[in-house]
Structure 1
Amino acid sequence: MTSKPFEESADYVQSLARGLRVLRAFDRELASPSLSEIAERVGLSRAVVRRSLLTLQHLGYVGSRGRSFFLTPRVLELGYSYLSSLDLTELAQQCLEQLSQRVGESCSMAVLDGSDIVYVLRVPVRRVMSVALGVGARLPAFAASMGRVMLADLPDDALDAWLGEQKFRAYTPQTIRTAGALKAELLRVRKQGYALVARELEPGLCSLAVPVRAGDGRVIAGLNIGMPYSEEVLRRAVKQMLPALQESRQAIEQAIQRGGWLPHMAMKHAYE
């Protein structure tokens, strides 16, 4: 017997879900949208969006200027509450800074959130992508090195379910864009313990990532080095940068265990 979707159960709070959809409508491209623009983006009626916006405005998360709406600084409480509950940034900050100084490249940590990775820590030395990356930035997990080391940890049935729900986009001619090819690559990442992605998100970018594990062995984050692409960088990545990345990963994992950080506090994989 097939169980009905959670959205149809008595426990599902539709108004809360709609309010969160409205909050997620705001981004760099739609920083001060009108009610109509938000309704079009989230696929809800103007009346529903209006009630959500007025409620969010009453709670202090949204402001208005004429016919436009904007997020207020109070929304940062939501993200920083998550980060502070992890204590992950404090444990990993020093390790990441030392790694960046050692290799002379930008270093980051991210967690998996559905189809995306979300940056929770970043130490930049230069801008390597056309989009600005910082804490809270999102990238497609399938085409990012940190996404691949986290996806590779999923059980086979969970990985198949994740792959079946994705819509793959070719960001460059090198992007792996089919479920079959990506699964083969993820199995290779699982076996070798790291992911090297070159020119799949942007032509001039490559990155090297390893998984970060909690005390129970489960992958809870990805750690990477982002670099401008060149054949020389690719040659150096595995021979010279991977050992440094692995040492930093080990130090972070030890710090996590000493700090008493619990795996259940991490952002869960979509199909656990």
Structure 2
Amino acid sequence: MEPMDDEKTSQNHIQGLERGLAVLTAFDADRPNPTVAELATATGLSRPVVRRVLLTLQRLGYVASSGPHWTLTPRVLSIGQHYTATHALTELAQPHLMRQAERTGESATLAVMDGNEVVYIARVPVRRVLSVTVSPGTRVPVHATSLGRVLLAWEPDERVDEVIAECGLPRLTPHTVTDPAEFREILTRVREQGWSLVVNEREEGLISLSAPVRDHHGRVIAAVASSTSTGRTTPDRMREEVVPVLLETAKAISGELGHERG
């Protein structure tokens, strides 16, 4: 590996993170217990830099030392665990989303929170109901979506306050709820009824309905949604016809994750 050149760093480049990852990935089958010198050779970094990186990783619990040798700790598995968990969730949810889409005739989506945004991790499209492209990886705001409200409804008040403070409640359409007190009341209602219905708030003509997916501890880790347009149906019909199907889908996915149904 070539030495890292400080002059090549840019405003969007975090050199310390790059160096940390370089040191972590230098541990392999040929170097399970390397020394600082061996890691310096493998990464092209100076020994003092490698030592500082190792001490930082040690403080964070990712490496341990035994004399001059260093080893990875089991904690490094948690880095890949998030990826594995998300992809396992996507895989097991896909057939349930397909069944939901077939039964409702509307698009089905699975999403999780990533920071202060909602990110789609699986989707079964039936027809185009949005003017924007919607596919896995799409990010949408928390406050104006049924998915976001479900994912936030079971969070502590402090987390809700944090999202409002950092992101605000920007008006996306004339119907978007922008008052913090009203938004908190909506989250309370979502928590009480177990699902969220949002009409015309993210985009004019869009109806979205969401319900929570829980893990084996009962924590809300994802949300499943059904989306359509006001030209195809009404909010009342969504409540009557789609809510039962959506709740069934959410319970089925939760059950696969080990959540006991009540």
The TM tier, using the shorter chain, reads 0.5 to 0.7
Find out whether 1:48 has 2:10 as its counterpart. Answer: yes
Query: Would the alpha carbon gap of residues 172 and 50 (structure 1) be closer, same or farther in structure 2, given more than 3 Å must change?
Result: closer
Give 3-state SS (helix, strand or coil) of 1:171's partner.
coil
For residues 231 and 125 of structure 1, the distance between their equivalents in structure 2, rounded to whole angstroms, comes to 13
TM-aligned CA deviation for residue 114 of structure 1: 2.1
Structure 2 residue runs of 5 or longer lacking an equivalent are 1-7, 23-79
> CA offsets per residue over residues 204-259 of structure 1, 9 Å max, x none?
1010000111111110001000011149421211111000111111111111229x
Partner of 2:60: none
Q: Distance in 2 between matches of 1:165 and 1:223?
A: 25
Hey, what does 1:116 align to over in structure 2? Answer: 117
Q: Which position in structure 1 is the counterpart of 2:215?
A: 214
Change (3 A) 1:215 1:173: same
Q: Assess, with a 3 A threshold, how the Cα gap between structure 1 residues 177 and 252 changes in structure 2: closer, same or farther.
A: same
Question: Contact 1:207–1:224 at 8 Å: present in 2 too?
Answer: yes
Distance (whole Å) between structure 1 residues aligned to residue 231 and residue 181 of structure 2: 27
Aligned residues: 191
CA contact (8 A) 1:172 1:203 kept: yes
Report the identity percentage: 37
Q: Which has more radius of gyration?
A: 2
Cα deviation code 1:156-177 (max 9, x no counterpart): 2332233222222111100011
Q: Relative to 1, partners in 2 of residues 1:85 and 1:219: Cα closer, same or farther, differing over 3 Å?
A: closer
**How far has the Cα of 1:183 moved from its partner?**
0.9
Counterpart in 1 of 2:185?
184
> What's the TM-score, normalizing by structure 2?
0.66
Q: How large is the Cα RMSD of the aligned pairs?
A: 2.6
- Rounded to whole Å, the distance in 2 between the matches of 1:50 and 1:156 is 33
Equivalences for 1:86-105 in 2 at 5 Å? 86=86, 87-105=88-106
Identify unmatched segments of 5+ residues in structure 1: 1-45, 60-79, 259-272
CA deviations over 1:14-48 (Å, ceiling 9, x no partner) = xxxxxxxxxxxxxxxxxxxxxxxxxxxxxxxx962
Q: Secondary structure at the match of 1:143?
A: coil
| 3-state SS of 2:203 partner | coil
Mapped contact 2:215–2:258 kept (Cα < 8 A): yes
TM-score normalised to structure 1 length: 0.64
Write the distance in 2 (CA, Å) between the matches of 1:256 and 1:165: 32
For residues 89-137 of structure 1, the C-alpha deviation after alignment (integer angstroms, 9 at most, x for no partner) is 1111100000000000000000011221000110001111111111111
* Separation in 1, partners of 2:218, 2:13: 45
Verify the 8 A CA contact 1:144 1:197 in the aligned structure 2: yes
